[in-house]
Amino acid sequence: MPQTPPDFATRRDVEGRRLESLLRRIYGDDPRLDRELAALLADVDAAWRQRPDALKILDRKRQGDPEWFESNRMLAGVCYVDRYAGTLRGLLEHVPYFRELGLTYLHLMPLFQAPSPNSDGGYAVSSYRHVDPALGTMDDLRATATELRDNGISLAVDFVFNHTSNEHAWAKGALAGDPAYDDFYWIYPDREMPDAFERTTREIFPEDHPGSFVPLPDGRWVWATFHTFQWDLNYGNPAVFRAMANEMLFLANQGVEILRMDAVAFIWKKLGTSCENLPEAHLLLQAFNAVCRIVAPGLLFLSEAIVHPDDVVEYMSPDECQLSYNPLQMALIWNSLATRDSRMLGQALATRHATPPGTAWVNYVRSHDDIGWTFADEDAALLGIDGTDHRSFLNRFYVDRFPGSFARGVAFQTNEKTGDSRIAGTTASLAGLEAGDEGAVRRILLAHSIALSTGGLPLIYLGDEVGQLNDYRYADEPGKRDDSRWVGRPRYPAGRYADRHDARTSAGAIYAGLRHLIALRSTHPVFAGGELVPFDTHDAQLLGYQQPGAGSASSPGSASSPCSVGLAVFANLADDMRTIESTTLSGLAALAPEWIDLVTGSVVDLTQGLRLGPQGFVWLVPAGSSV
């Protein structure tokens, strides 16, 4: 029996107590806490009064179906408003296309007021309450959210809460010595504390500045993990938590349904630690979650933690972030394409894919950011691979400095001191389309097929579905030339979109292939939920995994689908035809007499073995099953 969702008064009571207990754990006996907490609860009441009725109705719908985001019908896309459509109004003209593609979720890259031209693509926010005037207004954003929702698409935007721009009113106040903002950032009069912190912190954007601190014009030093103009907020001050909670509620009330929690790993600092992934970072996220549960219980948090896989999964919980990027799978898709070796990816699917109930991965092939090789060295070692050497190989391979490479990527944030580096580029350019490599289209489809068949929520970087190539013109754009990630953030590829229904073009081939996979995923519930079982193909170049069927443990005795495997996926990373031996497949063959490859629609006789072309893959389901 579905339970009646808790009403506001109940949530205010239950989640309010959770909020208080979390804040007491974070702030201990900080004398500022009681005042900030009382004020915050008043803010929460005010935000509820302002929450539009349409959103309250949506909240109830989401509360009644809390795992809505795990549906096989979900498909996410991401784009920059300016590069894809000019303005928010221009973006709405693309809604019919979003429906054609099958989107149910759209992440618009940061679109708030930011300094010009240096804004880190909008990740340096000067006001969370104003849309960048070049893109539109807050009214336009609300209208966009409504129009998308009316078309079955949930709007996601960034909550850039680790830092603000140095042009934010709080930053200006802190710089000017306004006591209200004195303690909003990590500002020190001299190098003593910065030196102490930097003994244990990592350099994140070493091409921008060394260390974690940057000098201010008055000789003081401010914490800036990313660019010099992005100042880290000091969550050690409960007033900062309250201030950002208010910005979050403001965004929630505009109709945003998913908040992408930017740079979660960095939000808490403690001397003598790496200042990443600290326990208080989790408590803070849970406290933000509690605030949301009261006012906007339908809202989801997406964690953006591009860190060691042990740490990534720690952010996933219904009480913290319901969604997380899956950076390990993303990086290992690229690893498997370069090496033609499926083992690291297979290992990750076997040992690191499970997530807590009520949470899901956002599976993606690439994002607007760089590809960082965040696999665990200890996992690689189990396969006899040296992590450092292997990263260095991948970095060379993806910038075409390895014999036979098909990739045309660009290095990002190379650290001369540590030798560390990351890779930027579009999917098509990284997969060989720019180089004219014969396997490029197949690689692009294979890469996306993994994101589409491993449960969770697949995310496409819009334009990649028609094979957009790197755009090198960023080097001439003010504020962009020093950030090579722009190579992978091209403008709307109009010509390629125009070709998308022409199968003779690469755009058409990629689009038709992807649309087909998306349609299959959305019509077969077996693709929902992320439960995977590894399948050993006995060949390093062949990847295998299965999803349990409806007839397995979850509904024993179900007559319609007696098979315990709902879906079996096999993929060939090699450049030549490969066969999986019938003996390897005999277990599957015993489960069902006949299997269908959903991708081609053909019947497959597993007792004859399975032949897979170069970069080929199959999505097998037992014939006659209703998956």
Residues known to be catalytic: 262, 304
Task: Compute the distance between CA of residue 1 and CA of residue 312 in angstroms, rounded to an integer.
Answer: 34
Binding mask 199-238 for ligand OTU (x = CB under 6 A): -----x---------------------x------------
* HSE-up of residue 376 (Cα within 13 Å, Cβ side): 12
Q: Is 82 in the site for ligand OTU (CB under 6 A)?
A: no
Q: Is 337 in the site for ligand OTU (CB under 6 A)?
A: no
Task: Compute the distance between CA of residue 584 and CA of residue 546 in angstroms, rounded to an integer.
Answer: 14
Task: Compute the distance between CA of residue 449 and CA of residue 438 in angstroms, rounded to an integer.
Answer: 19
Measured from the CB atom, the residue of 369 and 434 that comes closer to ligand OTU is 369
Measured from the CB atom, the residue of 109 and 563 that comes closer to ligand OTU is 109
Residues binding ligand OTU: number (CB under 6 A): 15
* Closest distance to ligand OTU from the beta carbon of 412 (Å): 7
Enter the DSSP assignment of 456. Answer: S
Nearest to 411 by CA among 339, 476, 484, 481: 484
Applying CB under 6 A, which of residues 33, 307, 362, 596 lies at the interface with ligand OTU? 307
Q: Which residues pair with 159 in a beta bridge?
A: 261
Tell me the C-alpha to C-alpha distance, in Å, between residue 82 and each of 135, 142, 428, 477, 613: 7, 17, 21, 14, 40
Q: Is 159 strand, coil or helix? A: strand
Task: Compute the distance between CA of residue 5 and CA of residue 342 in angstroms, rounded to an integer.
Answer: 44
Measured from the CB atom, the residue of 422 and 442 that comes closer to ligand OTU is 422
Binding mask 246-265 for ligand OTU (x = CB under 6 A): ----------------xx-x
Both tokens assigned to 228? 């010099």
| Burial (CB count within 10 angstroms: exposed 0-12, middle 13-18, buried 19+), residue 259 | buried
* Closest distance to ligand OTU from the beta carbon of 433 (Å): 24
Q: Which span sits near ligand OTU by CB under 6 A: 31-39, 298-306, 376-384, 396-404?
A: 298-306
Backbone angles phi, psi at 504, to 5 degrees: -75, -15
Q: Is 622 strand, coil or helix? A: strand
* Closest distance to ligand OTU from the beta carbon of 79 (Å): 14
* Closest distance to ligand OTU from the beta carbon of 364 (Å): 12
Centre a 10 Å sphere on the Cβ of residue 153 and count the other Cβ atoms it contains: 22
Length of the chain: 627
Applying the rule CB under 6 A, the residues between 369 and 428 that interact with ligand OTU are 369-370
Q: Which span sits near ligand OTU by CB under 6 A: 26-34, 53-61, 85-93, 120-128?
A: 120-128
Applying the rule CB under 6 A, the residues between 502 and 541 that interact with ligand OTU are none
* Closest distance to ligand OTU from the beta carbon of 436 (Å): 29
With vertex at residue 424, the alpha carbon angle to CA 419 and CA 426, rounded to the nearest 5 degrees, is 155
Q: Are 627 and 621 in contact (CB under 8 A)?
A: yes
* Closest distance to ligand OTU from the beta carbon of 371 (Å): 10
Measured from the CB atom, the residue of 265 and 568 that comes closer to ligand OTU is 265
Applying the rule CB under 6 A, the residues between 159 and 178 that interact with ligand OTU are 160
Task: Compute the distance between CA of residue 159 and CA of residue 190 in angstroms, rounded to an integer.
Answer: 31
Q: Is 304 in the site for ligand OTU (CB under 6 A)?
A: yes
The set of residues, in sequence order, having a beta carbon less than 8 Å from that of 34 and lying 6+ positions away, is none
Centre a 10 Å sphere on the Cβ of residue 394 and count the other Cβ atoms it contains: 24
Handedness of CA 226, 231, 236, 239 (dihedral sign): negative
Applying CB under 6 A, which of residues 80, 123, 229, 288 lies at the interface with ligand OTU? 123
Both tokens assigned to 40? 């915050």
* Closest distance to ligand OTU from the beta carbon of 240 (Å): 17
Measured from the CB atom, the residue of 52 and 117 that comes closer to ligand OTU is 117
Q: Which span sits near ligand OTU by CB under 6 A: 145-153, 304-312, 560-568, 572-580?
A: 304-312
* Closest distance to ligand OTU from the beta carbon of 261 (Å): 10
Measured from the CB atom, the residue of 207 and 597 that comes closer to ligand OTU is 207
Q: Which span sits near ligand OTU by CB under 6 A: 78-86, 117-125, 334-342, 401-409?
A: 117-125
Measured from the CB atom, the residue of 213 and 619 that comes closer to ligand OTU is 213
Both tokens assigned to 608? 């004859």
Q: Which residues pair with 321 in a beta bridge?
A: 316
Q: Which span sits near ligand OTU by CB under 6 A: 26-34, 116-124, 472-480, 520-528?
A: 116-124
Binding site for ligand OTU (CB under 6 A): 120-121, 123, 160, 204, 226, 262-263, 265, 304-307, 369-370
